[in-house]
Amino acid sequence: SSPASPSGSSGAVSPAEPRIVAQARLRAPSSAWLGAEVRLGDARALYLDGWPVSEGRSLSGLVGGSAPLASSGGASIDLQVHGGLRALSAEVPSPEDAAGAVIPGQSWGWLVEVTPMGTLPLGARGAAQLGWTAMYAQQRSPSVATETLGQVLVGGYTLAVTDDVQVHLRLETGGLFGFDGDGAKVLTRATVGVRLVPGQAASWLNH
């Protein structure tokens, strides 16, 4: 699980938001990989059609891959790309605001994330990661709008605790823009996870 905290339109950071991320990957000998990912979140700050809504849920399904760009002395740079669909829903106690505008209870759209990621080995069983993510999400229903346009700094650490199991930490922070300025302004997120890599935990340390 991970706590995530996109801010409201005031720029203040919201409370932590737990989520679960499940991944499956197929790796090539070159360290390239293809995979699928499901993200399920219990969000406490959502933007449905530009309206800030609390106590909602998010579900995303993505496919992605990574290809090596350069390597030297054990260090490497990879290009990661993810894309897919996402759905948001929330309980809306009052479906209309004071002016009579309708506040939707759910929305769906698509998203894409592109991340150049550098990996530096630290000892025989650990590695640090540093990268940058450009993300774009477009709401398709109930209306078409740019939901998120963001640039996020990414850092992480992976440790092979056994020959088959890794523990990894990922930190993300950066600025966001969406819904003509009415969406979230800041993303700050930490993810702690366990990855099963049979027989290759110490040799596959890149995110």
Query: pLDDT tens digit string along 41-79?
Result: 887 677 888 888 777 889 999 999 999 999 998 899 999
State the amino acid at position 2 in one-letter form: S
143-183: pLDDT as tens digits: 999 999 999 999 999 999 999 999 999 999 999 999 888 88
Which pLDDT score, from 0 to 100, does residue 17 have?
A: 60
Centroid of chain to Cα 127: 20
Q: What percent of the chain has pLDDT over 70?
A: 85
Give 100's pLDDT tier (boundaries 50, 70, 90): low
Q: Considering the chain, what is the average pLDDT of its residues?
A: 85
Q: How far apart are CA 145 and CA 147, in angstroms?
A: 6
State the amino acid at position 158 in one-letter form: T
When pLDDT is averaged across residues 177-198 and rounded to a whole number, the result is 88
Over the Cα atoms of the chain, what is R_g?
Answer: 18
